Amino acid sequence: MDMHNPPHPGKVLREYMGPTNDVAAVASRLGITRQTLYRLLNGQNAVTAQMAISLEQVFKASARMWLGMQAEYDLWNAREDRREAAKQEMPGASSAWGSIRFRSRTRPGRSITLKRGQALISADKGKTKLQEEKPMLRTDANSNG
């Protein structure tokens, strides 16, 4: 049975770290930088197989558990993306020319939807710039005229 909105493994890792939350000490024991650990704790990095093995050695919780949590989290998000895409699909519109939705993994709840004729220029620091695409003229290099 699938869990409804499973937590990112980083959230569970915070509980394993205990009340002190000494990021520098835990990062050192895992053999990673503090920044990498912060990204994992904040749900910005996924638990890889190598990270799962390191977590297993430090916290005595199986690598399969960490990878399983990451898989459940990823699977749930992928299904949610599909549900959202199905809701936004317009009847009669070709799927190739429908809207495209980009979900932010670093900022849950934020998304950008591009419709036909728009291009994403940039999306950083909460500012999104969209530009209308100009239609391209087709030229046939083999035509004589």
Q: pLDDT per residue over 23-33, tens digit each?
A: 999 999 999 99
Q: What percent of the chain has pLDDT over 90?
A: 52
> From the CB of residue 127, how many other CB atoms can be counted at a distance below 10 Å?
7
User: Angle at the Cα of 105 (from 82 to 76), degrees rounded to 5?
Assistant: 40
Asked whether the beta carbons of 86 and 95 are under 8 A apart, the reply is no
Predicted pLDDT at 64: 98
Domain check: are 70 and 16 in the same one?
A: yes
Domain check: are 60 and 18 in the same one?
A: yes
Position 62 in a domain: yes
Domain of residue 26 covers 9-80
CATH number at residue 13: 1.10.260.40
**How long, in residues, is the chain?**
145
Asked whether the beta carbons of 45 and 36 are under 8 A apart, the reply is yes
* Last residue of one domain, picked from the residues 42, 60, 80: 80
Q: For residue 121, what are the contacts with CB-CB under 8 A and spacing of at least 6?
A: 129, 130, 131
CA dist., res. 126 & res. 124, Å (int): 5
Predicted pLDDT at 120: 52
Domain check: are 48 and 26 in the same one?
A: yes
Domain check: are 18 and 71 in the same one?
A: yes
Position 42 in a domain: yes
Predicted pLDDT at 78: 95
Looking at residue 105, what DSSP letter applies? S
Query: Helix (H, G, I), strand (E, B), or coil: what is residue 102?
Result: strand
Note the pLDDT tens digit of each residue in 66-83.
Answer: 999 999 999 999 999 999
Domain check: are 70 and 118 in the same one?
A: no
* Last residue of one domain, picked from the residues 80, 103, 124: 80
Position 1 in a domain: no
Domain check: are 32 and 69 in the same one?
A: yes
Q: For residue 133, what are the contacts with CB-CB under 8 A and spacing of at least 6?
A: 117, 118, 119
Q: Which two tokens stand for residue 123?
A: 């999306």
Predicted pLDDT at 88: 85
Domain check: are 63 and 19 in the same one?
A: yes
Average pLDDT over residues 38-53: 97
Q: What is the mean pLDDT of the chain?
A: 78
Total structural domains within the chain:
2
Position 98 in a domain: yes
